[in-house]
Homo-oligomer: A and B are copies of this chain.
């Protein structure tokens, strides 16, 4: 309702970016992009302790990057905004370009992703 000022938007923007700025959280988001999952499934699939996963999910939830739904005693986490994955993919693409540019303009091509 109260529409954010530009400054507030900037702060939110930064806080979302910061949430994306952790390797494990990126793994979690990409995992959820494949399919929604239980916390325990994420923990198992990514080989990260359950409490750690839970805390990271909380961060992502605070930033509205994931949503939850109960499934009995378990909780299903899903991407709140699938478009975010597109953004992340674009960043990765840029990153690879940038890396390629750094280490020799004439380097032979490398595998994708």
Residues of A whose CB lies within 8 Å of any CB of B are 1-4, 6-7, 9-23, 25-27, 64, 80-81, 83-84, 86-88, 90-92, 94-99, 102-104, 107, 110-111, 113
* B94–A84 touching, CB < 8 Å: yes
Task: Provide the bound-state CA to CA distance between A11 and B99, in Å.
Answer: 13
The answer on a CB contact under 8 Å between A22 and B14 is yes
Report chain B residues within 8 Å CB of A18. 17-18, 20-22
Interface centre among A18, A19, A21, A86, by most chain B C-beta atoms within 10 angstroms, is A21
Q: A9-B96, A23-B11, A81-B94 are in contact. Are A107 and B1 (CB under 8 A)?
A: yes
Q: Which residue of B lies closest to A100 (CB)?
A: B3
Specify which chain B residues have a CB less than 8 angstroms from the CB of A98 in the assembled complex. Answer: 64, 80-81
Contact of A83 among B4, B27, B94 (CB under 8 A): B94
Residue of B nearest to A91 (CB): B87
- Contact status B16-A91, CB under 8 Å: yes
A-B contact pairs, 20 of them (CB 8 A): A1-B103, A3-B110, A6-B113, A9-B92, A10-B23, A11-B23, A13-B92, A13-B95, A14-B20, A14-B23, A14-B25, A17-B18, A18-B21, A64-B102, A81-B97, A81-B98, A83-B90, A87-B87, A87-B91, A90-B90
